[in-house]
Structure 1
Amino acid sequence: MSRNAESTAFRSALEVVRGVEPRVADAIAAELADQRESLKLIASENYASPATLLAMGNWFSDKYAEGTVGRRFYAGCQNVDTVEALAAEHARELFGASHAYVQPHSGIDANLVAFWAILADRVESPALKKAQARQVNDLTEADWFALRRELGNQRMLGMSLDAGGHLTHGFRPNISGKMFDQRSYGTDPATGLIDYDRVAEAAREFKPLILVAGYSAYPRKVNFRIMREIADSVGATFMVDMAHFAGLVAGKVFTGDFDPVPHAHIVTTTTHKSLRGPRGGMVLCGPELADQVDRGCPMVLGGPLPHVMAAKAVALAEARRPDFADYAQRIVDNAQALADGLLRRGATLVTGGTDNHLVLIDVSGYGLTGRQAEQALLDSGIVTNRNSVPQDPNGAWYTSGIRIGTPALTTRGLGAAEMDATAELIHTVLSQTTPGTGPDGAASKAKYVLDPAVAESVGKQAADLLTPFPLYPAVDLG
């Protein structure tokens, strides 16, 4: 697509929207301006390509398409079949998977599909077999009671939230924590690293139906070969949630023992984050679970979103290009440069560094909570998010950590020198922020004090740092 074509496409789209509701058009334009001016370091965010964004705004949005390719409950889905089949084909080829299901709307949806597919495959229940055979009308009330009890009483072993795990891996506020009898494995208190011997011990004691690996705030690789061996030793299904690092797998930065696809029974992911696609989810699996996975709609999903599946096909096609591997490697190189810059300035990092796309700063060394640090950085033009650290004394709301990641800035073209400059800006803000007090004079975990002149100076430096790396340079909204 030419530079002029991109500008014309987005400018024309906003003009059409403005003719109906100008406030929405203004908000869309403002979001682009904000993203262009902000030093975006949220590890779970990225910038999708113009082609991916444009693939979502079209007539596919008007279609209902329950079912799967060639087996729809609605007529007239031949074009939806085309884009869904293309997205699945690109996913299989990109990740070396035998089956790909591209309908999930999000990461939690992908995980729910995986959970129910595993339950349907593993739970020995006459009532479940009747339901799967579509003999639902033959189920008695006793059958339904037994089915609910059996499906809601299985065991899951996943990474603890404060060690870097995710809410969807069995934690009570999430539906997964209500579905499963869940137990967590943590990390070594001294190193912050996964202790595989302790994971194996927990698995032998707990005997889970599902062993989950994957993370949202663990800055190291995971050895999936060892995790599969642990799962096999207790007869568990091994599931990997690679939502955060899927781009590093796609780009062949994570290979061998660190590539989950050859080792897991089932793999879930989002399609945004490091994969740089539209917001959505995906499930990869072998033939043993394929039929169950393909029942995701209507099992736990509503109607598929054909316009998003079209965008997934575009983004996955982009990820199969040779330059994506270079991009994925630069994500890791930048994260390590950022970590090194912070360490040299005295910051405390969980695990002492990173092997992947994210860095986790323990801001208690600056005398701050994560909430205070997050807002002080935001005031200074640096967008991050607070995050728990292992054994966090401040809990999951205030936290003691800041999670930062490099996928988005790497997309803009920033490199090692800019990562060192970013580390200096982060350190400047955190070292000059102090805790505030509440109305009663007591110390606050939320309020903070930062000289506005410091915030303004850092914000200007952040903007200057971004100037040589324009975001969507071909898009001029006029």
Structure 2
Amino acid sequence: MSVTPEVRSVPAVYDSPSFEALRRQDPQAADILYGEAQRQATALQLIAAENFTSPAVLAALGSPLANKYAEGYPGARHHGGCEFVDAAERLAVERAMALFGAEHANVQPHSGSSAVLAAYAALLRPGDTVLAMGLPYGGHLTHGSRANFSGRWFDFVAYGVDAETGLIDYDQVRHLARQHRPKAIVCGSISYPRHPDYAAFREIADEAGAYLIADAAHPIGLVAGGAAPSPLPYADVVCATTHKVLRGPRGGMILCGAELADRIDRAVFPFTQSGAQMHTIAAKAVAFGEAATPAYRAYTHQVIANARALADGLAAEGFAVLTGGTDTHIVGADPAALGVDGRTARGRLAAAGMVLDTCALPYGDGRGIRLGTAAVTTQGMGRPEMARIASLFAQAIQEDGRVLDQVRELTGSFPPYPR
């Protein structure tokens, strides 16, 4: 496979001597990396879980810290030569605690799922009952899927959403908690576009004598920017990712109070993970620093404004928008009125240069589409571009062959990494 180097927007690393060295040594691998940069720059990236990191985050990911093995925690490593990686982890922890107002932060989890696994390991024992959002309503694999460790090790009970509104049915959550007396309640979703009522979940958990775990993988970036309510005052443990809206490297973190800090740390290392990925932790520190700026706060509010504009545009084009709109970066929609299901729509949109996911349709047949506005907002797009994207969606689903050129024109005007 050979990829043309003429791409309009790539990270500066692809102009660096190190990348030129890679091209000389392994042109096949270099072409793959450059090809992915070209794909990202010339298509609309609308997957709700994706974003564009800053060049500074990319620099940390490609730093010499990638060479260092560092089992344990700062000041208590199982390897020598850890003075600089200790400093990097302390910086990431301090910035995370300040950014979210947390008493304790663990930044070592390799992913959001790793963070959830560690939270369960800290608070639960195999066979314990857990109440979480069911997968058909937007729950994650770690919320009880039988294909996942969660569904095999614990007894999950699923709550859902109201059939008419698509909103969480808190009366049902309370009824199930009283009936099953779970050891923990999980609030969080991969496709629910509204803010959870954390206070209501806390009240239900207290009544049931349960821990409250917030899986905030999607909204945590909005929380950082003050654009979404924080689960920190209510949840015993908050699990999150550092990518998505937060715009950091792919990875996870756990936030909690001081009383659970030791249990969480021991659940991450040595119980569920070994050596920390120190280059990723340094990149997390960079991202937390960026998220503490006024520019990032403005960005998160624009993300939500764009999502609402996109939801309105899709509704005007005939899509049925789940829950009637959004409070976050996520938009869910059913394209059935346009004569296709979610999987068919995703394929036609991908062929037209618009990349997104499918999602479950609560109480419906087939699947809908799930999209997010984090990446396109990072590119500088606003409400006018969201209206245009909605129109392009409708055209692409009708297999209008002119859409791909229009998408490339749009992305060319908003490069993710302007030179």
Task: Give the TM-score of the pair, scaled to structure 1.
Answer: 0.84
Q: Give the whole-Å Cα distance in 1 for the aligned partners of 2:133 and 2:168.
A: 9
Q: Which residue of 2 aligns with 1:328?
A: 300
Partner in structure 2 of residue 356 of structure 1: 328
Structure 1 residue 377: Cα displacement: 0.4
Question: Cα distance, 1:8 vs. partner?
Answer: 6.5
1:106 aligns with 2:111: yes
Map residues 72-91 of structure 1 onto 2, 5 A cutoff. Answer: 72-91=77-96
Q: Which of 425, 428, 453 is the aligned partner of 2:392?
A: 425
State which of 48, 53, 59 in structure 2 corresponds to 1:48.
53
8 Å contact 2:318–2:338 — kept in the other structure? no
Does residue 243 in structure 1 map to residue 210 in structure 2? Answer: no
The code of the aligned residue for 1:262 comes to P
**Contact 2:141–2:148 (CA under 8 A) maintained in structure 1:** yes
- Whole-Å Cα distance in 2 between the matches of residues 225 and 465 of structure 1? 42
8 Å CA contact retained: 2:137, 2:160 = yes
State yes or no: 1:153 paired with 2:136: no
Q: Is the 8 A contact 2:319 2:336 kept in 1?
A: no
Indicate yes or no: 2:70 matched with 1:65: yes
Q: Which is higher, the Rg of structure 1 or of structure 2?
A: 1
Q: How does 1:291-306 map to 2 (within 5 A)?
A: 291-295=262-266, 296-306=268-278
| 1:248-327 aligned within 5 A | 248-254=222-228, 258-295=229-266, 296-327=268-299
Q: Deviations over 1:389-416 (max 9, x none)?
A: 102433xxxxx20001100000000000
Quote the residue 1:462 is aligned against: 407
Compare 77-86 and 462-471 and name the one that shifted more: 462-471
Per-residue deviation, residues 317-346 of structure 1 (Å, max 9, x unmatched): 100111111000000000000001111122
Q: Is contact 2:14-2:34 (8 Å) kept?
A: no
* Aligned residue identity for 1:366: L
Write out per-residue CA displacement over residues 31-77 of structure 1, whole angstroms, 9 at most, x where no aligned residue.
Answer: 11111100111100000000001101122112111111111111221
Aligned amino acid, residue 204 of structure 1: R
Aligned to 2:3: none
Moved more, 295-304 or 413-422: 295-304
Task: Specify whether residues 345 and 369 from structure 1 end up closer, same or farther in structure 2 by C-alpha distance, changes over 3 A only.
Answer: closer
User: 2: CA distance between counterparts of 1:19 and 1:465?
Assistant: 33
SS in structure 2 of the partner of residue 182 of structure 1: strand
Once residues 191 and 9 of structure 1 are traced to their aligned partners in structure 2, the CA distance between those partners, rounded to angstroms, is 47
Q: Percent identity?
A: 46
Contact 1:162 1:392 in 2 (8 A): no
Residues 41, 384 of structure 1: 8 Å contact kept: yes
Matched, 1:199 2:199: no
Matches of 2:353 and 2:225, distance apart in 1? 30
Give the conservation status (yes or no) of the 8 Å contact 1:214–1:240. yes
Q: For each residue in 1:269-311, what CA deviation from the matched residue of structure 2 results, as whole angstroms up to 9, or x when unmatched?
A: 0100010000000000001110011111220013100010010
For these two proteins, the number of residue pairs brought into alignment is 408
**Contact 1:118–1:289, Cα closer than 8 Å, also in 2:** no
Shift of 1:224: 0.4
Partner residue in 1 for 2:199: 225
Aligned residues: CA RMSD: 1.2
- Quick one: distance in 2 between partners of 1:73 and 1:7? 36
Q: Is the Cα–Cα contact under 8 Å of residues 13 and 19 in structure 2 kept in the other structure? A: no
What corresponds to 1:337 in structure 2? 309
User: Structure 2 unaligned runs (5+)?
Assistant: 1-10
Residues 1:210 and 2:184 aligned together = yes
Partner amino acid, structure 2, of 1:115: Y
- CA distance in 2 between counterparts of 1:356 and 1:232 reads 27
